[in-house]
Amino acid sequence: MGMHSKWVQGNLVFYDSRYEHRWLDAIGPTVTKALEEFVFTPFSAADSPSGYTTTLVELGAGETTVALLAATVPEGNLLITADANENDGANIQRLGEAFLLAANKPCYFGARFKVNEATQSDFILGLCITGATLLGGMTEGVYFRKVDGVTTCNFVLENGSTETETAVLTVAANTYYVVEFLWNGVAIDSWVDGVLQTRPVITNLPQAQTLTPSIAFLSGAAGAGKTMTIDCIRAIQIQ
């Protein structure tokens, strides 16, 4: 993998040489970014990465855990392990809502992740409104979502609790995926492992609501040991 650069509205954007849509970093006077590799991420308390709001979901005895795996995985990973009941898990959101998908404000989001249970798991990755209940309680966001009982992951635009869904991925257990979207200020596209998906209409794109990088994972059925591993998450916008 190499890296190239280009100017976007007077800011220097660095992108993957194989995939021009994949923004890796940016510098400039109107750049907003949140780049997380989960290597040296400090924790303010057990199960709570600093700079994030973490809400653990635990319906019974036991414990949902959120842990950094940098000591055993050199490239860094965040591991969410759900408690043993259905709908146990965690919501993790970056503090502050700094991303606004308004006209002519390009914005990139990307994440690399895997789950160890393809069917009985729920997850969200993307830019969302701040809230403790992301799965089932979302009102505004642009995100990738899978619900329990199916292996289909959808790319979702949601505004005022009204959604536009586009199927983009069939999830397999213990398989890493790279999911990305790029709002160019006029239209929005998504990619899975570098492959462009069907472009959705932007009727339900939340263009008036500020959003924040968000991760949610819940167990879709009773039974211990359901996990989600996040290798990295990037959000970069030209404001």
Task: Indicate which CATH number applies to the domain containing 120.
Answer: 2.60.120.200
Q: What pLDDT shows up at residue 7? A: 97
Q: pLDDT in tens for each of the 239 residues of the chain?
A: 689 999 999 999 999 999 999 999 999 999 999 999 998 899 998 899 999 999 998 876 668 999 998 666 667 899 999 999 999 999 999 999 999 999 999 999 999 999 999 999 999 999 999 987 899 889 999 999 999 999 999 999 999 999 999 999 999 999 999 999 999 999 999 999 999 999 999 999 999 999 999 999 999 999 888 999 999 999 999 99
Say if pTM beats, i.e. exceeds, 0.85: yes
pLDDT at 63: 87
Domains of the chain: total: 1
What pLDDT is stored for residue 75 in this prediction? 73
Q: What are phi and psi of 84, to 5 degrees?
A: -85, 5
pLDDT value at position 165? Answer: 97
Q: In angstroms, what CA-CA distances link 159 with 110, 135, 145, 207? A: 20, 15, 15, 8
b/e burial code for range 7-17 (CB count within 10 A of at least 16 → b): ebeebebebbe
**Shortest CA distance to 114 belongs to which of 236, 231, 29?**
231
pLDDT of 59: 77
Domain containing 155 equals 3-238
